[in-house]
Every structure is written in structure tokens, then in C-alpha cells.
Structure 1
């Protein structure tokens, strides 16, 4: 998998993508703590983070349309420049005391930029390597995200804030975005794979009606998009809320224990990503995706059935590794299934659905915890994806079986004609 770093087309993409991930990891930690230090007002922190999320939601669909219409490496470069400009604006706002509104405006632009280069980057991957290396490239992308957003970015951001260098952290993030923008212009893409609808006019391909027509013809993909959105809502939105309250109730030092579990999980998932990237793609990798995510969710029941610090850490670590498997195979499935001309827009649907439902999951979990308690809520967030995943797995295997039977019947019908 690491050999991809010597691949002339993938290497500049990886370094550009990693710079963006590192910048996002820095910003994720720096924003709330710097704002809290400057204002002492939690409402100001919430206001600015809400504006960043609003920027993502506002720009996700238009950004995806741009990525499907213009050269994606240029789109990524433009959006990195915009992100760098937004971060420079935040530095100026913090250095001159322009106020929370100016920081919020910068975060809105930064969020909008990430909504453009995220789906555009994901849509570029299948045009950087051949199909046999696609899951390996997705493994490298996942490793980049885990190191940049999950480990090094937050660590450096926290250290710089602790040393009173919050503005410096934003400046470093801006430099990383500029570096990513420059490197992105050096990316060279392979020609897009042909599909059955290439005779459509480009003007039709650039609108959302073509996406809706495509989704109407692919009910399995629609079902998977819906299931993944519910899964993310429970696992990323509801689970952290329920887990935080649950571990605090049963264990002293719950915050430290939660941090340890997340850190070990990040390391385990990075190791799993390397293993998946070094292994061949399974023939039924979509079924493996559903299985990994379902078991990863159900694994959290270990902490509920055997409440202790060790069971919590082990269940979170195993869940993180299984989730990493599902993430790689899900990206590979979308990239190898959806036509290139529609890819960024379909990816943006996945992005927006997950992002919009995550805060809903957190809000619902908070309400349910107050009524049922943390344990039952935590169990629900674990078991619903597990059993619904088993249903999706049955649906996928049945669809594959019906497809094989249809192809068999077609061959039998054609046999007499061949004999003639």
C-alpha cells in the first residue's frame, strides 16, 4: 500500500490531501479553546462552530456540482486557497479584536471550503490509480485522515493553545492549506471510465436531475445511503453523548478513560487501515462492509454487559478497527459504482445526510438519556445498527443472488440461438 507514495499521479494528491487533513485537525482543537480563552462565553463557541457547520451545509451541493463540471484538481486547489484565506482572516480578527462575528465569518468560509474539497478529493481517487489499486488508495486516504485529523493535528493544536500560540495555530493551518493548494495543481488524472450514459449532453450531466435519475435506477445504492446516514447518526451523533454520561456514572475519571479509549481506537484503526491496504479486495467487499460496521456497533454491548474500564476500552478499540474497515470498503463501493460524471454529487449527498443527522442524533440521545438513562440509550445506539445491518446484508445477498439467476437465465435463452 505504501508503494502508492511512489506513484506519480497519487503522490501529489496524498501530500495535498494530508496537508488539508492536518489543517482541519489543528482547527478542530484550536477554535473552541481559543474562543473560550478570548471571550469566556460558551455561547460564542457554539455560535462560531454552528457557522462553520452551516458553511459546510450551504456549500456541499453547489461545491459538488462545481467538482463534477470543472477539473477536480483545480477545484481542490481553489478551495484550499479559500480555506487559507479564511484562516488568515481569523488570525486578523483575533489579533485586532474584531469580534466573534468576524471569527464566525471566517469559520463559515472555512467550512464552505471543506465542503468543496472533501467530495472533490474523494471523487478524484478513482482517477488516480487503476481499479485494482482503488481500495489501497482509499486505505491511504483513510490513514491520512486518521493521522492528520485524529492524531497529529489535534495534538499540535492542543500544545500550541496551551503555550499561548492560538493565533499561530491558525497561521500554521493557513500555510498548510496554501501548500495543499499548490501541490493540488500538480495532480494529473487518468481519463474517466466510460459508462452507458456518456451520450448525454454535458449540460444535462451538470444538473441534479441527472443524479436523481441515476439514483432512481439504483435502489440498492439509495438503500445503502439511507442506512449509512442512520448508522452515522447513531454512531457519531448519539453514541458519544450516551457513552460520556454512561462512563461518568460507572467510573471515576471517566473523561480520562474516554480519552484513552479514543486514542487506543485511533491507533488500532490506523493499524487496520494498513492491513486492509496490504490485502487484496474481497470479492464480496460490500457484504464485508456491512458486516464490519454492524459488528463494530454491536461490539459496544461488551461495555454494557460487562461494565468496567477495561471492557469499555476494549470495546471502543475493536469498534474503531471494524469501523475503519467499513469506511474503506464504502468509499471503494461508491467510487467504483457511480459514474465519474456524477460522483462528486453522489458523495456530497452522503456527506450532507451524515452531517445533518449527526447533531440530530446527539440531541435525541441527550433527551433519551434523561428519560431512560445512559445504559439503555447506549445499548440502543449499539443494537439498532447491528440488527438493521443484518437486514441490509440479507438484502444485498438476495440482490446478488437474483442478479446471478437473471444472468443464468439469459445465457440459457441465448443458447438455442447460438446453436442455430
Structure 2
């Protein structure tokens, strides 16, 4: 497939040389490191008997609740006011709340839970604001490379955060590691640049639900968006849940070692890194269909757990799943930034994050009882089938071929 000038390797390399985008990228990376490091730091606290396993579950659950509650609110605020200001206040809130998690460690789980909810809210508020800010900082012709760089940073943090936390744990105690995640949130708040002048946004006193509803109506104007979001939700509800619940069980019961679990997750991350690098340089003609085909590759993950295959097959399947998710993510984000009305972009992005992230814990909650009731083989077969069929069904929607409304490039 041919590529155009904005997807050339030189363009992909030079996007990180632009000072404004580099600041935004570093801020996003800092927030990602803080997000991924916190569960591992708290896990170390469990090992050190400073926190119980039940306490860990409560703290992480309240963080998720804070995230989901803040995403739609942030979408409205980031469209009504400055997106840079939303990032500042969200990062600052997470930075100021983090020391209270450290303060409650070994003393008060309720204090830790409340603080974690604020940190989660800061994380959730940043996501749609960062997405909309990228569209303001980067011109339309370079957003594909910008989004690829952003998702590349996310995947690198999934490797660096656990390893970095483990290394630092040899030098610092849990309290200081928690303070370190707070400092990362402060970096995330301070670094992103002010956006270029943007189209005027409404700043009236309309109620929150009315303004969020306007974002929902904008999303409904794009059949490809609704179809793609439905496919993504189905894959997360099934495929992601299979990874979270079934993979540890299969690793333990079939292969007799947790090494298969660790290696499969590492293969997934490496596949995602490869996908981000590939999609930065390759733009197919039917980019929407190619993205949905990439999303369907996630079906190989639960499929590889279904039969007694060599562990290498499981690793390859998870690498394919990681590759495919980035072949979907980057065109998806880029198309959203291109097609959605700029003044509504944060609200539509918040709807995206709310559905995709919101269904993840629901799927995890449902999968374990389903395995107990029906057995893991029928459940995994169903998960694989949904992962293959949902993107195929989304490809039938009008405008899904190019993730673009008729008449637009």
C-alpha cells in the first residue's frame, strides 16, 4: 500500500523533535508511568505486610471508580474551558492526593481509598484532555505519527514501570516510592504546553448532562465511530477479560508455571510496540477496515488458551494481539481527531474512554463466574468468537472503510 508524505519515516522521526509536542509527549509518559507504577508499589506493600490483599483490592477499586467518574466530567470541562488547564488541575490533584496514600499505609485503608479515588479521578480527567490537546498541538497531517508516539510511550511504560519499581525498591521503601509517583503526576501537570489558538468553544451555563449529551449526539453522527466503539467494547469485555482471568489459570494448571503468564504478557507488550512502530509508517487505503482487522487479531489470545498447545504458540498469539490492538488504536484516535467537531472532541473522546475502560472491570467480574458455571473451554471459545465477529460486523457499518464520513478523504 502506498504511503503519503505525512507517514514517511522522516516525518515519524521528526515529530519528537518538535518542542511543543515533545513536552506533551513527556507529560503523557509521566502520567502513564505514575498510573502503571502505583499497583506495583502497593503490591510491594502487601509483600512487606504493610497492606493486606483485601486492602489492596479496595484501594485499586476506588481508583477505578474515581477514573470512571472523572472521565465524562473532564470531557465536558475540556471542551468548555482550556484543555491545558484541565490537564494542570487533574495532574495537580493526583500529585497532592498521592502522599495521603503513603500516609494511610499501615494506618488507614479508608484514607488510602479516598486518596486513591482522587488519584484515579486525576488520571481519568487527563485522558480526554490529552487526546484533545494533541489535536491542538499537532497539525492534521502529523497526527498519525503523534498518536503512534503517544501509544508507543504507553507500551514502553508497561515495561519500564514494573521493572523500574522493582529496581528502586532495593534502594527506597514503599513510602518514598509512592511519593515518587506523586512527583510524576506533578511533571504530567506542569510539562504540557499551552495549545495554539483553537476555535471558540461554548462557555454558557448549560447543565452537565446537556453538554455531555451534545457529545453523544456528535458521536452518533459518525456511524464508523459507533460501530468501532461497539467492536472495541466487545473485544475488551471478552478478550481482555480472558487475559486477566483465564491466562493465569491456564499458566498454572496446564503449564505448571507462572512463567507462561509473564512471558505472554511481555509478548503482548512487544507486539504492541511493533504495531505502534508499523502504523506510524504505514497507511493503507482502507484504513478503517485495516484497523478493524487488527482489532480482530485479539481473538487469537483466548483461542491459544483453548487447546493444549506449546507455550510458544501462546506467546505468538499474544504478540499478534498486541500488534493488532495498536493497528487499531492509532488510526482510531487519528480519525476521531480528524472527523469530530473540534469543540466537541474531548466529550466524544471521554465517551470512548468511558465505554472501553468501564467495561474492562465488568468483564473481569463476569468471566470468573462464567468459567465456574460453564467451564473455561466454552467460555474461551465464546470470547474468541466475539473477538473475531465484532470487528467484522463493525466493518459492515457505513463509512467504516476509511473511518470517515462520505465525501471526506
TM-score, length-scaled by structure 2? 0.88
> In the alignment, what sits opposite 1:272?
275
In structure 1, runs of 5+ residues without a counterpart are 408-420
Using the TM superposition, give the Cα deviation of residue 166 of structure 1 relative to its aligned residue in structure 2, in angstroms.
Answer: 1.3
Could you say what the CA RMSD is over the residues aligned between the two structures, in angstroms? 2.7
Tell me which residue corresponds to 2:378. 376
Greater helix share, structure number: 1
Structure 1 residue 106: deviation in Å?
1.3
CA distance in 1, matches of 2:336, 2:403: 21
Question: Which is further off, 10-19 or 206-215?
Answer: 206-215
Q: Deviations over 1:258-280 (max 9, x none)?
A: 1011112212321221222133x
Matched, 1:125 2:134: yes
Post-superposition CA distance 1:299-356 (Å, at most 9, x none): 6524535622111111111111111211112111222121121111111112122222
Are 1:340 and 2:346 matched, yes or no? no
Trace 1:11-160 onto structure 2 (pairs within 5 A). 11-35=22-46, 37-39=48-50, 41-94=52-105, 97-148=106-157, 150-160=158-168
Task: Tell me what 1:224 maps to.
Answer: 228
CA distance in 2, matches of 1:88, 1:98: 13
Q: Is the 8 A contact 1:61 1:345 kept in 2?
A: yes
The secondary structure found in structure 2 opposite 1:55 is: helix
Query: Deviation at 1:12?
Result: 1.0
Deviates more, 1:262-271 or 1:238-247: 238-247
Q: Write the distance in 2 (CA, Å) between the matches of 1:33 and 1:395.
A: 47
Contact 2:101 2:112 in 1 (8 A): yes
**In structure 1, the residue corresponding to 2:48 is in which secondary structure?**
helix
Match of 2:218 in 1: 214
Larger radius of gyration: 1
Give 2:8's aligned residue.
Answer: none
CA contact (8 A) 2:224 2:394 kept: no
- Greater Cα offset, 385-394 or 35-44: 35-44
Give me the whole-angstrom Cα distance separating, in 2, the residues matched to 1:274 and 1:359.
29
CA contact (8 A) 2:27 2:187 kept: yes
Which position in structure 1 is the counterpart of 2:196?
190
Quick one: distance in 2 between partners of 1:296 and 1:205? 39
Q: Which residue of 1 aligns with 2:328?
A: 326
Q: Distance in 2 between matches of 1:252 and 1:120?
A: 44
Q: Counterpart in 2 of 1:414?
A: none
User: C-alpha separation between the residues in 2 aligned to 1:142 and 1:403?
Assistant: 25
CA distance in 1, matches of 2:316, 2:36: 25
